[in-house]
Structure 1
Amino acid sequence: MSELLIRRGAVFDPSRGIDGDVMDIAIRDGCIVDSVGPGAKVIDAAGKTVMAGGVDVHSHVAGPKVNAGRTMRPEDKLFKSVSASGGYHMEMGFSIPSTFKTGYDYARMGYAFVMEAAMPPLHSPHVHE
């Protein structure tokens, strides 16, 4: 059994209405619990932000350079069956996955936010969609 106590961090959890409240978070075996034992590993998060999920603030997942790369790899486009739904959807191949697949991959890895850093000003209002 592993136990962790994150102390005095500014916690942000919009799903629970927590907006920067300084508090402790107790974790046992990867789950948030009410309390942990005295032998728990302690992380002092005073002055730091604590939030669920990873954050990637500089990535290239959806910008014009990615789309230009897709046009250079027409042989890489393919359809894959989606066994759960029985239908098909576009994956865009192996070297340059679709924006949707990239988003799902980030979510599977535990990321809560990914930022496309190479967005031209014309498209900047759409960066956070």
Structure 2
Amino acid sequence: MQLFTVKMIAKRIVSFFDASGAKTGERVEEIPQVYRDLPHPTALGYKANFPDNKVEIEAQHGEYAGEGRKGSSYERRERVNVPADFKHTRRAVREKIQEKIAADDLTAAQTGDMSAAINAEMKS
């Protein structure tokens, strides 16, 4: 389904009054508004319902819903290869994590990275 973006400038009338309540003046403010991901009949409805506003209708890029929006890309997660003999129990996972932490601590001390070595010491 093709989606559309409606850009329009809405007008607001601001009135000014003095202390006694008498109208002293007024001004017109223009407020830009943008509506995205609208189907075509809805986009045309904005043009019909707001004839005084400056209404522009633009077709979005992309053929299907959501393709024209920012941040709509789908990222696939990487699968981690796990050895066939690895048991997926809490104890096994906890032991694997402890081994990983111990290996990281040794490499931090061996490389001379003082901040990593101090942080590793603080963890234990």
TM-score, length-scaled by structure 2: 0.19
In our comparison, the structure showing a higher alpha carbon Rg is 2
TM-score, length-scaled by structure 1: 0.18
Question: Which one has a larger percent strand, Structure 1 or Structure 2?
Answer: 1
Question: Which one has a larger percent helix, Structure 1 or Structure 2?
Answer: 2
